[in-house]
Structure 1
Amino acid sequence: MTLFKTIAALALAIGLAAPAAAQDLSPVGTWQTTTGESRFVVSYCGDGTQICAKLTWLRRDARKPENVAMLNKLVVNGARPAGENQWRGTVKYDGQTVDGSVTLVDEDSMQLSGCMLIACKNVDFVRR
């Protein structure tokens, strides 16, 4: 999976994913794709209810020039709450802006979804 697809999926998951548990969960922390190719640090930002995500690590086989260019940069900046344990916003990557969502499924699982044109993708993350 390309990093763009991962990021796009991260963005879409903010609103289209399966519902999370009834309690409010925190997205803050380090998350890794279940395939192990990339890691992101998620933090609260903006007014303190929005979330931001920074790409912090790439597995060796994912270190393509377009992916390396995104290292240590925000790929999600200011996604807004869209429901219980859900955020919706945009992901910026390689000059593109993709609408998406992030949903915390449980304390250690997060699903990201994103669409570009008619192509949509979901990516699952686990807490590190």
Structure 2
Amino acid sequence: MKNFNMVQIQASVDIDAPLDKVWNIISDLDSEPRFWKGTKEVRNISKNENVVTREVTIAFKDSKCMQTVTMQPKEKIHAQFTKGILDGTKTLTLQQLENRIRLDVLWDIKLTGMMGMFTGMIKKHIQSGSEQALESIKQEAQR
């Protein structure tokens, strides 16, 4: 059953760079705060092959969230929020087009508990933050 409090946020960008280069940028999870302004800090707790468990401090009230990040090399990065103010997922997907790479982000999230009423408000912030992040990743990859 779909949870009606969830909001979906999508953004994408086409990047003129090799797949490996784009993958190296987005798969460097520690550098996420450089591109994603809503992510203030990341602290990796454990890594098991392609799965990373980490604590993320987000800009919204400096809240800490737990995430399980699963990486499918050169295809996608799927972050599941497991604990904290955010509930849901953030997925980055890479797609090879003719001579460029399409990078998509899809958020399917809500704020938990009493903060749920602010979900609509943060949607705009996450949308513009995502667009800015993709643009920054594009600039970095095309350098």
Assess same fold via TM > 0.5. Answer: no
Q: Which has the higher helix share?
A: 2
TM-score range, shorter chain: 0.3 to 0.5
Normalised by the length of structure 1, the TM-score is 0.45
Q: Which has the higher strand share?
A: 1
